[in-house]
Amino acid sequence: MKPTLVTGASGFLGWHIARLLLERGHQVRALCREHSVIRELEVERVTGDLRDRASLDRATAGCGLVFHAAADYRLWAKHPEALYQTNVEGTRNLLEAAAAAGVERVVYTSTVGCIGIPRNGGVGDETTPVSISDMEGHYKRSKWLAEQVALEKASEGLPVVIVNPTAPVGDHDWRPTPTGKTIVDFLRGRIPAFIDTGLNLVDARDIALGHLFAAEHGRSGDRYILGCENLTLEQILERLALISGRKPPTTRLPYAVAYLSGLVSTGWAGVTGIEPLAPLEGVRMARKKMWVRQDKSFRELGFEPGPVDEALKRAVHWFQSNGYC
């Protein structure tokens, strides 16, 4: 069996993808930066960087499958050009290396942020019109541009399938991700109020399985949403309260107040270089509910995610057991 390359295996989704591949008997090769740590998994490690094409040629050599889950996932960066270098040009470098190596299939991990949401506040899917003008902030814009690179390479003949995960929850959220940070902040008692926003939550383990389904059944050049349940932030906090025994916040913060807080917090971060508590980019993103449907993934991939509550329970237990709160 040819090796399967996973980028981002030291992170949340990449780790779950690598774990599942190992469970299913794949020989997993992981692209890692020099000081990255992959915990609890026995994989073949290849040191490299998405910005270094020579390292990507070494990483993809002899591989049959590539799962590209690595990304610079930040809602604030003092030097935002770094996001474009990794997310856009890094994706281009990897896909070109995969094409040169004769890789049989690539699954590219995009984000639900690249899915269009109807302007009337409805539920989006893969067919909802969307453009770069709809992308709020550097992270979303860089991922949208990276998606265009993947579509371009698919049109040139490289078999690339795009998956758009929604907000992942679960165990082994090392950094943590923005969604995981919300859980940690709640457990630490740092969310005294909430704003009227919404997310689609999904178990990270199910996202990993969706990646494998995409590799097996997805159509090259197509996008597939990997999500589960649309929830308001208030509902998410109420579920976390039931799991943890903590009281949920009852104060709804007006968007104008949240925006002002994000403006001040992000402005101060620009002076100090310290990540803001309320990134303005995140506040702007929260103005609309990122609610989507995953009918296409169910129909074409056989993607059937399990209950979100079980993933939330595992996330709470894992964060508590690993000293995050």
Per DSSP, the three-state class of 149 is helix
Return the bridge partners of 7, or none: 31, 68
Return the axis-axis angle of helices 308-321 and 204-217, rounded to nearest 10°: 120
For 37-49, give one letter per residue: b (16+ CB within 10 A) or e.
ebeebebebbebb
89: left (phi over 0), alpha (psi -120 to 50) or beta: alpha
Q: Which of 73, 139, 224, 324 is catalytic?
A: 139
How far apart (Å, rounded) are the C-alpha atoms in residues 41 and 131? 38
Active-site residue flag, 73 = no
How far apart (Å, rounded) are the C-alpha atoms in residues 284 and 139? 12
How far apart (Å, rounded) are the C-alpha atoms in residues 304 and 222? 19
Beta-carbon contacts of residue 302 (< 8 Å; ≥ 6 apart): 213, 217
Q: Cβ(319)–Cβ(184) under 8 Å?
A: yes
Return the axis-axis angle of helices 233-244 and 308-321, rounded to nearest 10°: 60
How far apart (Å, rounded) are the C-alpha atoms in residues 212 and 243? 30
The count of other CB atoms within 10 Å of the CB of residue 78 is: 12
Tokens of 144: 């949208």
- According to DSSP, the β-strands at 223-226 and 167-169 are unpaired
Shortest CA distance to 12 belongs to which of 325, 291, 323, 314? 314
Positions marked active-site: 139
